[in-house]
Structure 1
Amino acid sequence: MKIIHFSDTHLGFNDLDILNKDNINQREADFYDAFSQVVKQIKIIKPDFIIHTGDLFHRSSPSNRAITFALEQFKIIDELNIPFILIAGNHSTPRTNLSSPILKIFENFKNIHVCYDQEYKTVEFESVIFHALPHMNDETKALSQIELCEARIDKSKKNIMMMHCSVGAAYLMAEFGEWVYPSEKEYIFKMMDYVALGHWHGFGAVGKHENVYYSGSTERTSMNDKRNSKGFVVVSLYDELIVEYKEIKIRPIILKEIDCEDYENSVLNIETSDVKDAIVEVKLTNLSALQSIDIQNSEIRNLFSEAMSVSVKREFKHTQNKTNIDDIEALSLENYFLEHIKEDSRPQEFDRLKYKIQELFAQYEEANNDTL
């Protein structure tokens, strides 16, 4: 038996405010591309089953474009006549009963089985039973659902457990409403042939459990996620369990560092040929206060003009001698503020903001003079 396990596709996610040639947010398009790559691999590998362990969409009320894309892709999958079992994650589960679960839209597909009602559900076939535990807002209810799962284990078949949760504190995502699987119930994992997890965005086995795996996400929902490897899992269940990670192609994050103690040489020697279409994060280190004003973000971005996106982080010197302190005191707060506003504003906007800022600083100085 061969199973493709993927998760956390977060369709509809977007950030960075960059549009592609089709006038779609480029990062949103990246998530669609990642999903399409998995579907192409499904067509090549031709597994016996496909499972998705939550967060198909990034929001419980996704955009029309995200819904349309998902329906198109599910139609392709459905026509392969491969059973596809899908559970809800915390991002696609409404927080109240006033909203209808979005995964209901897939119920009319012949080969697609969805589980979204915050209740344990089994999807059974001749040789395998899928124990589906979707995201649950109520952890007290979750415990009773886990116990139902334990009672339904069928030793005459393969047993696959599917969940969207954190198994241990190491896999917390610091998100609202995330569900933490109770540690006292981890003994159930040994009764399963495979435990497929969603929620954590990195691939890997969980702790001491040899059959418990996160497939990871197919793209990044945060620039704090520096993983340049995303993909899905091919699970082979024959005489033994074999879990094989398959990587897909995603937009890379490339980290660069410029040492401002020797700024000119650092800029001259920095590698820029490897950044085409990448997300680039530049860290300026050993900055002095005066340098921070002199070095504009636009100047750094121009160094990596072929990148899709460039962000700049500033790291000041850890120690300040008296010269540094004098430099800071000598700075005009008004000019410092204007420089930063100018960098991120259009010319017309800056002219308007400049006069307003100057007016506010003048009022501030006048008010302070009156109190002396």
Structure 2
Amino acid sequence: MKIIHTSDWHLGKNFFGKKLTEEQSIFFEKYFFPLLEDIKPDLLIITGDIVDKPNPDYETQQLFKDILYNLFDKKIPAIFILGNHDSKRISLYKEFLRDLNLILVDNLNYFKNPFVFENRKGEKAYFYILPYLSLYELKENMENFWQEEIQRFAIFFNSKNQLFLKELIELLLSFQNSLKRPAFLLGHFALEKGIFTGEEVTLKCIGREEIFPINFFEKYDFLLLGHLHRLQKISHKAYYAGSLLPYSFEEANYNKGVWFLELKNNSLVKEEKIYLNPSFKIKTLKGYFNDLIKYPKDEAYIKVILKDEIPVLHPFERLKTVFPNLLVLEYEEKDKSNANYDFNADSLEIFDKAEIDLNEEKLFKEFYKLIEGNEIDEKLFKVFQKYLENFNEELNKETL
């Protein structure tokens, strides 16, 4: 049995003001579906965060529709589960799609009674499916599917104290006595020792990230998980496919792809990370403005960190001529460990109207000294004077 595990597509992702729907469409057409045609998996598994927004726009829904059509056209069965970015809008037509071997899971039905998948050779696998649910939805599902068990925990469930996601999941896992093998758990949550990228929207409860110990899930043979954006394996049986594409500049140097698993006679005979080329490039460039402006033209999505100590006039617009897809520009942070940040009454006496006249240039010099701990450089001060002059000219025009 051949299984492709992928996750965290984030269709419709907005990347620093750049909508990536077109780039995502190209990726599926040029890289993802050719991979499926080459491997011909028995089953495709997508473990959450299918879309980036709970209420996806029309363009995003069209892309998702095209992906579903392609899976049906290529006769590739698939299991989708909801992640914390998704909503039940995604699974609105799940009953219709089930007849097309496209399973969208938004409740605990397949956690109580596993989804049984059988390939053409008669090999079977059992999938216990735990989509992302809010605390309220999780509690409601548990009450609906495990009425008898919940009666035993009525005091716990009706407690006025705040219930945590971890406590509910631990209780839910206790309801499963025996599993059919091989037993897969599909979920969307963070495991301990998992590597975060910083791009994930945390699964918070009362201000804390819910991270689960892996020993919660010892009874399962394999864990195929979503939420963490790094392609990684934890322990001997927990797989994160990560996001299909890089969605932060920090992820630019990490390979993206899918997990390929092959089972025979209920045992894993092959596991492989398959890396896929992204449909766009992202780069972070760090340097001085006069050097960067001389670079050859680059169509990648760019973040620029300027090392210049003196502010450059209109750097973003000027660098756009070299980097048409410049998305972020910022100055390198200086070491302010020696700066004076003791904002007490004595240090602010310089701003007392009775002590000094409200001259903009003098105020700026004193403020700079207060923040930086030293006198302002003459070149930098001239830049300020130029901006101040332009500001006053514009102000005079408006007055006239």
The aligned residue for residue 387 of structure 2 is 335
The aligned residue for residue 69 of structure 1 is 63
> Residue 168 in 1 paired to residue 195 in 2?
no
Q: Which amino acid aligns with 2:4?
A: I
The aligned residue for residue 274 of structure 2 is 246
* Cα distance in 1 for residues equivalent to 2:395 and 2:44: 59
Q: Which amino acid aligns with 1:252?
A: K
Q: Which amino acid aligns with 1:335?
A: Y
Identity of aligned residues (%): 19
Structure 1 pair 105–303 and aligned structure 2 pair: CA distance change class (3 A): same
Q: Secondary structure at the match of 1:42?
A: helix
> Residue 9 in 1 paired to residue 26 in 2?
no
Q: Which amino acid aligns with 2:25?
A: Y
> Residue 193 in 1 paired to residue 221 in 2?
yes
Structure 1 pair 354–33 and aligned structure 2 pair: CA distance change class (3 A): farther
Contact 2:195 2:230 in 1 (8 A): no
The aligned residue for residue 325 of structure 2 is 308
Structure 1 pair 316–234 and aligned structure 2 pair: CA distance change class (3 A): closer
> What's the TM-score, normalizing by structure 1?
0.73
Contact 1:218 1:232 in 2 (8 A): yes
- Quote how far apart the aligned CAs of 1:258 are: 1.5
Of residues 300, 303, 313 in structure 2, which corresponds to 1:278?
Answer: 300
Whichever structure has more helix as a proportion of its residues is 1
Q: Secondary structure at the match of 1:90?
A: coil
Contact 2:311 2:380 in 1 (8 A): no
Contact 2:17 2:327 in 1 (8 A): no
Contact 1:168 1:180 in 2 (8 A): no
- Quote how far apart the aligned CAs of 1:321 are: 8.5
Aligned ranges 1:118-129 → 2 under 5 Å: 121=111, 122-126=114-118, 127-129=124-126
User: Please, what is the CA RMSD of the aligned residues?
Assistant: 3.4
Per-residue CA deviations over 1:243-280 (Å, capped at 9, x if unaligned) read: 21222221111222224xxx64x348x6536x3x3112
Aligned ranges 1:1-372 → 2 under 5 Å: 1-17=1-17, 25=19, 27-36=20-29, 37-93=31-87, 100-109=88-97, 110-117=100-107, 121=111, 122-126=114-118, 127-138=124-135, 139=165, 140-148=167-175, 150-154=176-180, 157-168=181-192, 170-171=194-195, 175=201, 177-178=203-204, 180-183=210-213, 186-187=214-215, 189-206=217-234, 209-238=235-264, 239-250=267-278, 251-259=280-288, 264=290, 266-267=291-292, 271-272=295-296, 275=298, 277-285=299-307, 287-288=308-309, 291-294=310-313, 296-304=315-323, 307-315=324-332, 317-318=334-335, 322=374, 324-325=376-377, 332=384, 335=387, 355=394
* Cα distance in 1 for residues equivalent to 2:2 and 2:244: 20
Contact 2:259 2:272 in 1 (8 A): yes
Larger Rg: 2
Structure 1 pair 356–196 and aligned structure 2 pair: CA distance change class (3 A): farther
Contact 1:189 1:212 in 2 (8 A): no
Contact 1:120 1:134 in 2 (8 A): no
Q: Secondary structure at the match of 1:86?
A: strand
* Cα distance in 2 for residues equivalent to 1:224 and 1:40: 28
Q: Which amino acid aligns with 2:70?
A: I
- Quote how far apart the aligned CAs of 1:229 are: 2.5
Contact 2:107 2:130 in 1 (8 A): no
Structure 2: state its 5+ residue gaps: 119-123, 136-164, 337-371
Structure 1: state its 5+ residue gaps: 19-24, 94-99, 340-352, 361-372
Contact 2:194 2:228 in 1 (8 A): no
Contact 2:21 2:63 in 1 (8 A): no
Structure 1 pair 328–278 and aligned structure 2 pair: CA distance change class (3 A): closer
* Cα distance in 2 for residues equivalent to 1:322 and 1:180: 45
- Quote how far apart the aligned CAs of 1:326 are: 5.3
- Quote how far apart the aligned CAs of 1:132 are: 0.7
* Cα distance in 2 for residues equivalent to 1:337 and 1:101: 55
- Quote how far apart the aligned CAs of 1:189 are: 4.1
Structure 1 pair 32–234 and aligned structure 2 pair: CA distance change class (3 A): same
Q: Secondary structure at the match of 1:151?
A: coil
- Quote how far apart the aligned CAs of 1:55 are: 0.7
* Cα distance in 2 for residues equivalent to 1:84 and 1:146: 25
Per-residue CA deviations over 1:299-338 (Å, capped at 9, x if unaligned) read: 223233xx53353221255477956455555654782696
* Cα distance in 2 for residues equivalent to 1:147 and 1:338: 70
Per-residue CA deviations over 1:111-133 (Å, capped at 9, x if unaligned) read: 01121126653211341101111
- Quote how far apart the aligned CAs of 1:67 are: 1.6
Per-residue CA deviations over 1:211-260 (Å, capped at 9, x if unaligned) read: 2111011123334433453221211223545321222221111222224x
> What's the TM-score, normalizing by structure 2?
0.68
* Cα distance in 1 for residues equivalent to 2:54 and 2:15: 18
* Cα distance in 1 for residues equivalent to 2:388 and 2:4: 54
Structure 1 pair 39–198 and aligned structure 2 pair: CA distance change class (3 A): same
* Cα distance in 2 for residues equivalent to 1:15 and 1:3: 30
- Quote how far apart the aligned CAs of 1:103 are: 1.6
The aligned residue for residue 367 of structure 1 is none
- Quote how far apart the aligned CAs of 1:170 are: 4.8
Report the count of equivalent residues.
316
* Cα distance in 1 for residues equivalent to 2:335 and 2:211: 42
